[in-house]
Amino acid sequence: MAGREALHRLVDALPEQDLPTAARVLEALSRTADAIRRAQATAPPAEDARTIARILSPRLVHPGQVADFAKEVLEIRPDAAV
């Protein structure tokens, strides 16, 4: 982890013409970090921290429709092992 002294050394080693770019990058990083902290502070608590998304499978209204979704294998390749 880089400390302030290491960061100061990096900035001091930059050519003069790169300083405006370095300043913009550091300002953007600061704004992003502030936005993340605000979002975390104001986000409602999760019901279950492990739940990120729920993926549901579709349900057929008429079970007879299952034949419409049959798959046909056209070619079996030796590199298609799953």
Helix, strand, coil share (%) of the chain residues, nearest 5: 55, 0, 45
Under the banding of pLDDT at 50, 70 and 90, the label for residue 21 is very high
Q: Are 42 and 31 in contact (CB under 8 A)?
A: no
Inform me whether the pLDDT recorded for 7 exceeds 60.
yes
Question: Could you give the CA distance from residue 64 to residue 68 in angstroms, rounded to a whole number?
Answer: 8
What's the whole-model pTM score?
A: 0.44
The domain ranges of the chain are 18-42
C-beta separation of 52 from 60 below 8 A: no
Residue type, 77: R
Encode pLDDT of 28-71 as tens digits. 888 888 888 888 888 777 665 565 666 676 677 777 777 777 77
